Chains A and B, each alone.
With several copies, the nearest count.
Chain A
């Protein structure tokens, strides 16, 4: 689209879309700095920041010691002193090591200063299972942060959203936890052209497929499971609507409710552990606020309440699958 892309394929992978967003913001916002483990010289474990240190210098893009708490705390301090910060977690799993700084220091800063200090910080990192990453390289731990008021929580499923949501996040005055799906980073099938200066506002869901019989709500890579399930369901004469919420906090409830006006049936799919996960939150909101729209129990398909095990059969066993969605949808429509 833009001049800088003439030599490349106009289609972007999810990972490159993320890099473009950071690159563009670095060029537009002189106050933006990027910090994390191995993000400078190496360009990040997955290469999201590749080339950015060379382009913007070690003052703008730099490596931190393996100190997640100090990474977050440093970001907070820099923001307190006028910076916008992108902080990378090498894997989102390691955010647990900086947990206190996120939930108690960062999330609450604006609140406890009665608005004196805002925290334009994006904490981003690769998340999600299905890749054989085992217990500590597969987590979707977004629910913890949804239960820590003051954080926005975002999870893109497409390259365009990766670009657009990261751009919006980097411009948001609030802390944003940005969950990237590493299994999508280089997925060829989802490459797409992205208009330059593309922004996707936080808090707006996307309808990925229109349907009238049942609503499948999801985010991240489970969106693709839902889309595949919808394809299967067509063969059974069932027309599923697929909603990608994209932003968890704040949640676009209206798009979900509007869909339920048509379908009156809801399945929520996500790959986090069930109990107190975000799938349950959606079920709860719908049950509370749109009970009258439901003709059948609203249900969820999540990871079982287990860690993500390593060996493939184990991993697949505990995670949502197209098959599980199809089966449940059929039962639900027959309800």
Chain B
């Protein structure tokens, strides 16, 4: 099963249109987007290498081949907007508000140092390594902290937006979920409530065709998972998750819709999971997923698609067009040379910081069960 095509699915690749949000992007924007795809891809590939090299413990949930969803959805947000990433969205933590400058300490996203400390389980992680992998967040940076329980942050997103409006804000919140996760009851409760109250919650569905070892056909009865929106009478869009500009367009439509008070929406981004569910599943995934399907599913690399688009627009000159070539390469094939040096350096800095950060002291294990009541008003 490959990323299914749907009638409502349009790809920018073939049909650029000046009425679309992406037509307003500058060349610099597009180049930044291209760069962010590299950043996300490199983060993923490097972590896999680190794990193989034995420098890293814990399970990796790869976002390889799904990077356009993160980059495209985050690029158009206001700094004050909120996001709620899940397991396959690690790059979202540092890509949020990347437009304000990756080095800008005031930007509304996490630093790569913080993210690496989380990956490596160090005390300088935003959560002081108390929960693993993507279970971090930041009240200050407007990133909702997730639990493992799939779809569990959608009602939280609704509550954050409810409070935002009571506070006079104009933020929107993007929540990310796999297509399998939409079967959870809390998905329905939260989307229904958001729809009743027209809360600006955009639910992005990363439909990578598989939920662990189960194909989407056993998780969702409709061809497009976005059709779940119809049950709530809300906007339901399908994007080509491999095309960062189509993701950008669809998400920006949903974001504008939400910000202008028209209510929540679902944006399904069709994609394909490159590897196993987590790295522990790579070998078994090769058994339960036909090779043919995997080849097809990975044939549309989001970096390649973006490159072609930029080339067509004349954004790339001859040299820069081919200087780096990460597309189509899996973690074991790609090397640092396949990535822009600033991308490699950026992550390198985060990793070094993490390796120098301490593991938390055991005593912290019993701290912070409760907030101190005395300090409350």
The one of B127, B160, B370 in contact with A150, judged by C-beta atoms closer than 8 angstroms, is B370
Check if A41 sits within 8 Å of B371, measured CB to CB. Answer: no
Check if A73 sits within 8 Å of B154, measured CB to CB. Answer: yes
In the assembled complex, A296 has its CB within 8 A of some CB on chain B: no
How many A residues, CB 8 Å from partner?
A: 80
Q: Which residues of B contact A261 (CB under 8 A)?
A: none
Q: Which residues of B contact A33 (CB under 8 A)?
A: 163, 166
In the assembled complex, B363 has its CB within 8 A of some CB on chain A: yes
Q: Which residues of A contact B159 (CB under 8 A)?
A: 73-81
Q: Which residues of B contact A83 (CB under 8 A)?
A: 163, 166
CA distance A76 to B145 in the complex (A): 11
Check if A174 sits within 8 Å of B370, measured CB to CB. Answer: yes
In the assembled complex, B103 has its CB within 8 A of some CB on chain A: no
In the assembled complex, B2 has its CB within 8 A of some CB on chain A: no
Q: With A76-B156, A110-B368 known to touch, is A81 a contact of B164 (CB < 8 Å)? A: yes
Check if A70 sits within 8 Å of B371, measured CB to CB. Answer: no
B356 to chain A, nearest CB (A): 16
In the assembled complex, A100 has its CB within 8 A of some CB on chain B: yes
Instruction: Render B192-218 as a binary contact track against A, CB cut-off 8 A, 1 for contact.
Output: 110010000000000000011111001
The interface centre, meaning the residue of B167, B219, B368, B377 with most chain A CB atoms within 10 A of its CB, is B368
Size bracket of the B interface: 35 or more
Q: Which residues of A contact B149 (CB under 8 A)?
A: 93-94, 96-97, 100, 104-105, 136
Check if A173 sits within 8 Å of B219, measured CB to CB. Answer: no
Instruction: Render B128-141 as a binary contact track against A, CB cut-off 8 A, 1 for contact.
Output: 11111001011100
The interface centre, meaning the residue of A41, A132, A311 with most chain B CB atoms within 10 A of its CB, is A311
In the assembled complex, A202 has its CB within 8 A of some CB on chain B: yes
CA distance A228 to B148 in the complex (A): 33
CA distance A305 to B370 in the complex (A): 11
In the assembled complex, A309 has its CB within 8 A of some CB on chain B: yes
Q: Which residues of A contact B126 (CB under 8 A)?
A: 113, 116
Check if A111 sits within 8 Å of B214, measured CB to CB. Answer: no
A182 to chain B, nearest CB (A): 13
A67 to chain B, nearest CB (A): 4
CA distance A37 to B365 in the complex (A): 32
Binds B, one of A58-66, A154-162, A211-219, A231-239: A58-66
Check if A149 sits within 8 Å of B369, measured CB to CB. Answer: yes
| CB closest chain-A residue, reference B180 | A66
Check if B186 sits within 8 Å of A77, measured CB to CB. Answer: no
In the assembled complex, A112 has its CB within 8 A of some CB on chain B: yes
A123 to chain B, nearest CB (A): 14
CA distance A198 to B192 in the complex (A): 39
Check if B138 sits within 8 Å of A116, measured CB to CB. Answer: yes
SS class of chain A's interface: helix, strand, loop or mixed?
loop
Check if A110 sits within 8 Å of B366, measured CB to CB. Answer: no
In the assembled complex, A120 has its CB within 8 A of some CB on chain B: yes
Check if A38 sits within 8 Å of B127, measured CB to CB. Answer: no
The one of A101, A135, A316 in contact with B152, judged by C-beta atoms closer than 8 angstroms, is A101
Check if A105 sits within 8 Å of B181, measured CB to CB. Answer: no
In the assembled complex, B329 has its CB within 8 A of some CB on chain A: no
Check if A309 sits within 8 Å of B373, measured CB to CB. Answer: no
In the assembled complex, B260 has its CB within 8 A of some CB on chain A: no
In the assembled complex, B27 has its CB within 8 A of some CB on chain A: no
The interface centre, meaning the residue of B139, B145, B147, B192 with most chain A CB atoms within 10 A of its CB, is B147
Complex interface residues of chain A between 185 and 214 (CB less than 8 A to chain B)? 202
Q: Which residues of A contact B361 (CB under 8 A)?
A: 313
Check if B362 sits within 8 Å of A313, measured CB to CB. Answer: yes
The interface centre, meaning the residue of B163, B183, B211, B370 with most chain A CB atoms within 10 A of its CB, is B370
Q: Which residues of A contact B219 (CB under 8 A)?
A: 65-66
Check if B368 sits within 8 Å of A111, measured CB to CB. Answer: yes
CA distance A316 to B158 in the complex (A): 36
| CB closest chain-A residue, reference B220 | A65
A49 to chain B, nearest CB (A): 11
| 23 A-B pairs whose Cβ atoms sit less than 8 Å apart in the complex | A29-B377, A40-B213, A41-B288, A63-B214, A65-B180, A65-B189, A66-B150, A66-B219, A67-B192, A69-B189, A73-B186, A77-B157, A79-B159, A101-B186, A109-B145, A113-B368, A114-B127, A114-B368, A115-B368, A115-B371, A117-B145, A120-B376, A314-B365
Top 3 nearest A-B pairs (CB, nearest first) are A77-B159, A73-B155, A42-B213
Residues of B within 8 A of A (CB): 57-58, 121, 123, 126-132, 135, 137-139, 144-145, 147-150, 152-164, 166-167, 180-181, 183-186, 189-190, 192-193, 196, 211-215, 218-220, 284, 288, 359-373, 375-377
Apart from A63-B214, A77-B161, what 5 extra A-B contacts exist at CB < 8 Å? A78-B160, A96-B149, A112-B145, A171-B376, A310-B132
